[in-house]
Amino acid sequence: MKKVLPILLVDVVLVVVFCAIGRRSHDEANAVTGLLTTAWPFLGGLALGWIANEALYRDKARPASVVPAGIVIWFCTLVGGMLLRVVSGQGTALSFILVAGIVLAVFLLGWRAIYAAVARRSAAR
């Protein structure tokens, strides 16, 4: 659990940052409650992604890996987040889905790719 918690926290922070950037770009009010309203569907999708990764791969896929864990977690965060937004009456315009998909991929897959490159470089020394 000690190895997994920091990875989960990075994902949570990045999802919240994604939501905060989106709210800021639209000059939306109610900072804290608005952020929570925007973030909870994606945090729910993130939780679903972590559960799916564990169910599909058990101990075979490290949560910090890009493939398969990062892909599963990103996909579930995006799709689960959008489905939860629909259920809660929040918007899911196609342009929003595309932007969310790209930004969440950069965030959730990007840090994993950087982490893997640093780990490979450190191992090579």
What is the C-alpha to C-alpha distance for residues 109 and 69, in angstroms, rounded to an integer?
A: 9
What is the tens place of the pLDDT at every residue in 87-116? 999 999 999 999 999 999 999 999 999 999
96, exposed or middle or buried, with CB in 10 Å at 0-12, 13-18, 19+? middle
pLDDT band at 46; cut points 50, 70, 90? very high
CA distances from 46 to 25, 39, 118, 124 (A): 22, 10, 24, 32
More confident residue, 45 or 28: 45
The fraction of the chain above a pLDDT of 90, given in percent, is 81
What is the C-alpha to C-alpha distance for residues 69 and 86, in angstroms, rounded to an integer?
A: 25
The fraction of the chain above a pLDDT of 70, given in percent, is 98
Q: What average pLDDT does the segment 78-85 reach?
A: 98
pLDDT band at 2; cut points 50, 70, 90? confident
CA distances from 23 to 27, 116, 118 (A): 6, 31, 32
Give the other-Cβ count within 10 Å of 121's Cβ.
9
Among all chains, which residue has been given the structure tokens 């259920």?
Answer: 87
Give the pTM.
Answer: 0.94
What is the C-alpha to C-alpha distance for residues 94 and 28, in angstroms, rounded to an integer?
A: 20
